[in-house]
Amino acid sequence: MTLDELTDAWLRGVAAAGFVPGVRARARAALRDLLEEFVAAVRAEPFDPAPGHRIGAELVDLRMSAPPVLGTTVHLLGGHLPAIVGAGDRVLDLLDSLVTGFVAAQRDAAVRAAEEMNRSEKIHWRAVQLDLQRRLQQAVLHHPDTGLPNEQHLRKTLAELDGDGRLGLLLLSLDRYDELADTLGHDKGARLLAAVARRLRPLGVLAHLADDQFAVLVTGTAGPDDLIKVADQASRVLAPAFPIDGHSLHVHACIGLVERPVAGSDPGRWLHDARLALRWARHDRRGPELFDPGRAAEERRRHRLAAEMPAALDRGEFVLHYQPLVRLADGVTIGVEALARWNRPGAPGPQQFIQVAERTGLIHRLGRALLEQACREGAARSGDLLISVNLSPVQLADPGLVATVADILHRTGLPAARLQLEITETAEALPYRAALIALGDLGVRLALDDFGTGYSSLAVLTGLPFTEAKLAAEFLAGAGHGGVLRHIVEACHAMGMTVTAEGIETAEQEQILRDLGCDHGQGYHLGRPAPL
């Protein structure tokens, strides 16, 4: 959801609460201004929740002062802003301040009105104020569609936890709810949420967080298995279709779980960890996911790497080491494979930081920098030494890849025939046929890396401009028998490709591969990675 869409939803909620906006465009502009103030406060450094108080008071000044207005404000901003701007804890702190400002402005307005009343009017006014306070409390702590406790209420409950027992928190997210609500309309969507709540209520203490999210507190658990059983129950009760106004709606929920002792638990971590487990469940699609501290720590480590890598790239900390590619017939080094290294004490290995770069999109920038470095260093060497550079599957999908390679070759002066791009076989080649052909047309050599471990077959490779197949190191485990290897080598030769065997660790392996007709070899026996 964008800020514009959130503004429109906020205006609809305010109008549904009974506020008549007059000129609708003016009311929308006022809400958009308040939303931008809220977002600016979330992002401000240092963070200060005080602007929330002012925003709450401004809602009352704009005559948007009915309790349902406060409820829909807490619901919409708390449910959607964390996904838009992040910093979910800051959003909640600002919402707490907004509620305080809203209630204080209501009270001040009521005091001013009371000063002008006679005795009988004041008695009636006090009754109205008590009812207003009750409805404000209900609006702040309950979801407007289902009346269930909302996230603020759940956080308050978790903060008050005490005792020696164990507790489980189950967080459910309804798949495709937004699509269903857009198709059915808000009223039918609200009825679907109410029907979901009725089925989940027997499972434990139920709360309704965002539109598509419910939470279930399960007390007295004896361990994670108890909570997993509740998650299985939740999946079963949601499985039958929901009849809504002639529609038969099927709902599937992703489920994240946290189960731990109450004593010593940080109340603020319960929802955080449950949301993390829910994200894993959405991503992995294997069923309910139980929070795993080890996986969470690994994820934090990846996030730190992702934050550190752009500055490290600016500082030139990523360098290349080169491993020899040797012609097995005579032992001559005919080329080198460029291997990325992070030149910093304690830095992670290439498998780790390249994986992070691929997930964050930084691989495009890192890949260009390393390709240019390899071509520049290769061009500085005389002779016809082949420079082989690995290409990430993410880079292969970049529509600007061919132009980038052509530009780097032009600027560095490396002849295209001396550049080889290695494409791992786990990146299915067929969708990128046009890019591969265009790279071949530049005169660049193309090698299929880790051949025999992924998607490709010899038939699939027909018509693609690969000039070399690099056999996965796993093949060497059966090199003593030679039958499979000999067949692969002969088939590749028949297709006009040379064959490189990776992972050669012994002289015996080298001799076997030479006897099988393998063209080139690579491995610690033939040479370790080092600066060029």
Q: pLDDT tens digits for 249-262?
A: 888 899 999 999 88
CB 414 within 8 A of CB 378: yes
Mean pLDDT value across residues 70-97: 79
Place of tokens 């507190």: 217
Largest CA distance in the chain: 110
- Higher per-residue pLDDT: 284 or 162: 284
The residue type found at 494 is: A
Q: Which residues pair with 420 in a beta bridge?
A: 388, 445
Percent of the chain with pLDDT over 70: 87
pLDDT tens, residue by residue, 73-83: 877 887 778 77
Residues 6+ apart with CB under 8 A from 259: 166, 167, 168, 169, 221, 223, 224, 226, 227, 290, 291
451 closest CA partner among 419, 484, 473: 473
CB 504 within 8 A of CB 518: no
Average pLDDT score, the chain: 84
Chain mean position to CA 133: 41
The per-residue pLDDT for 26 is: 81
**Strand 386-391 and strand 332-342: pairing?**
parallel
How far apart CA 506 and CA 214 sit, in angstroms, is 59
If DSSP codes are grouped into helix, strand and coil, which group holds residue 257? strand
Please give the full DSSP string across 455-479, using - where no structure is assigned.
S--HHHHTTS---EEEE-GGGGGGT
How far apart CA 315 and CA 311 sit, in angstroms, is 6
Mean pLDDT value across residues 279-300: 90
423 closest CA partner among 464, 475, 374: 464
Rg (CA), the chain: 32
If DSSP codes are grouped into helix, strand and coil, which group holds residue 446? strand
- Higher per-residue pLDDT: 108 or 503: 503
CB 318 within 8 A of CB 368: no
**Token couple for 201:** 């209520």
How far apart CA 371 and CA 68 sit, in angstroms, is 58
Residues 6+ apart with CB under 8 A from 272: none
The per-residue pLDDT for 419 is: 97
If DSSP codes are grouped into helix, strand and coil, which group holds residue 354? helix
Whether the per-residue pLDDT at 393 is higher than 90: the answer is: no
Confidence of residue 433 (pLDDT cuts 50, 70, 90): confident
The per-residue pLDDT for 386 is: 96
The number of C-alpha atoms within 13 Å of 524 and in the hemisphere containing its C-beta is 3
How far apart CA 134 and CA 24 sit, in angstroms, is 30
Q: Which residues pair with 173 in a beta bridge?
A: 213, 254
